[in-house]
Structure 1
């Protein structure tokens, strides 16, 4: 038996640290806030404008995929990602 097999398993993270929803929603909100700031202060910088808008939209899409996978895991779907039912 190796050392790795006999090491105790770490305790699970508390729910508030394991839940990615506040981070994802907060990050998405920051992208949209950045979009509004660029829109109001510097419309001439179209690259920055489109980058911040894309960041916000991708945050929404990413959260949608996460939510969809988490529902499938809780439902017990065989094709769902594993380990999302606790979150």
Structure 2
């Protein structure tokens, strides 16, 4: 009944910029196809959807590269470098208890049992 919590899994190492660039490239291909095919006047929004996809993709690449530069890809301190498990910082790994808004007392979290 009081089983130990398994350790958190390490995050996967991914190349987010390449993934976003691949999606942006697909939006660009769709835009080129639509510009060649010329959809009817009731479907012109398809073109603008591709333009929005390309714009958001370029913003995403900029944001991810900026984040990676800020964190320093080599010396990144991720969740695996924590000394205490996620929670309220007391080392138990338990989430912080919420307070009742009306009484100020501790609230019961669903699925949470108090330890004897």
Structure 2-normalised TM-score? 0.52
Which runs of 5 or more structure 1 residues have no equivalent in the other structure?
A: 76-81
Cα deviation, 1:13-52, whole Å, max 9, x if unaligned, reads 3x4xx22222111001001111111111024331000001
Which position in structure 1 is the counterpart of 2:9?
A: 10
Query: Which structure: greater helix fraction?
Result: 1
Q: CA 1:46 to 1:59, structure 2 compared with 1: closer, same or farther past 3 Å? A: same
Hey, what's the Cα distance between the residues in 2 that align with 1:70 and 1:10?
21
Aligned residue pairs, count: 72
Check whether the contact 2:23–2:57 (CA below 8 A) recurs between aligned residues. Answer: yes
The equivalent residue for 2:45 is 47
Match of 2:58 among 60, 69, 79: 60
Q: After the TM superposition, which parts of structure 1 deviate over 6 Å for at least 4 consecutive aligned residues?
A: none
Q: TM-score, normalised by structure 1?
A: 0.67
**Which ranges of structure 2 fall in alignment gaps of 5 or more residues?**
79-116
Larger Rg: 2
Corresponding residue for residue 26 of structure 1: 22
RMSD: 2.4
